[in-house]
């Protein structure tokens, strides 16, 4: 099966390693730990009114969902070095833009995967309308894209630097 650029998630080696370790923990020791919690809660009696049992089952469901997310993400990941510091917008860059020429209110974000960012920086997907519009642009270039309400807006790339975590 070939991957389209739409299904590929770009990750740094550090992010890939961190997510792989999380998956191994959740699918190994994490599953064993939640099974013990469920069994202990089951021993308490009537399952219909057992809050501990229901909480443990809910936690198990969330954990299994995260395991499936991680598997899908890692299967579709393309691991690479940070992009070159050449001012070209691409996944892995921290980008600063101004909307409709409003130079007094710049917006800075990481163009990439939420899984790559380990800080509080906002993240935009390369597949988002904004991400698609600015991908490949350089500092000083403008792009126009459609907003969810159907209107269009323009954005100017003010800065683009590789994300360093």
What is the 8-class DSSP label of residue 30? I
User: d(Cα 42, Cα 29) in Å, to the nearest integer?
Assistant: 20
Q: How many Cα atoms sit within 13 Å of 124 on the Cβ side?
A: 21
Take residue 142 and report the two structure tokens written for it: 């403008």
User: d(Cα 78, Cα 75) in Å, to the nearest integer?
Assistant: 9
Query: What are the residues whose beta carbons fall under 8 Å from the beta carbon of 26, sequence distance 6 or more?
Result: 63, 66, 67, 70
User: d(Cα 41, Cα 148) in Å, to the nearest integer?
Assistant: 46
- The H-or-E segment that residue 146 falls in is strand 142-146
pLDDT at 104: 87
pLDDT at 4: 42
Instruction: Check: pTM over 0.75? Answer yes or no.
Output: no
Take residue 60 and report the two structure tokens written for it: 């198990």
- The H-or-E segment that residue 93 falls in is strand 93-99
Residue 107, SS3 per DSSP: strand
pLDDT at 7: 55
pLDDT at 66: 92
Domains of the chain and any CATH numbers: 9-79 (1.10.287.180), 82-162 (3.10.50.30)
Residue 157, SS3 per DSSP: strand
pLDDT in tens, the chain (165 residues): 344 444 567 777 777 888 899 999 999 999 999 999 999 888 887 777 888 888 999 999 999 999 998 998 888 887 876 677 888 998 888 999 999 868 889 999 988 877 766 667 888 888 899 999 999 999 999 999 998 899 999 999 999 998 776
Answer yes or no: are the C-beta atoms of 80 and 36 closer than 8 Å: no
């Amino acid at each position: 099966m070939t991957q389209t650029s739409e299904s590929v998630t770009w990750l740094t080696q550090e992010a890939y390693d961190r997510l792989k370790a999380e998956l191994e923990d959740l699918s190994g020791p994490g599953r064993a730990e939640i099974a013990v919690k469920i069994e202990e809660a089951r021993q308490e009696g009537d399952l219909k009114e057992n809050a501990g049992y229901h909480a443990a089952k809910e936690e198990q469901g969330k954990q299994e969902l995260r395991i499936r997310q991680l598997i899908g993400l890692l299967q579709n990941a393309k691991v690479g070095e940070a992009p070159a510091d050449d001012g070209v917008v691409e996944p892995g860059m921290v980008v600063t833009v101004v909307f409709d020429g409003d130079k007094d209110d710049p917006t800075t974000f990481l163009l990439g995967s939420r899984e790559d960012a380990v800080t509080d920086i906002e993240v935009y997907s390369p597949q988002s309308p904004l991400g698609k519009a600015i991908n490949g642009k350089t500092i000083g270039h403008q792009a126009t894209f459609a907003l969810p309400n159907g209107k269009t807006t323009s954005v100017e790339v003010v800065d683009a630097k590789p994300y360093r975590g």
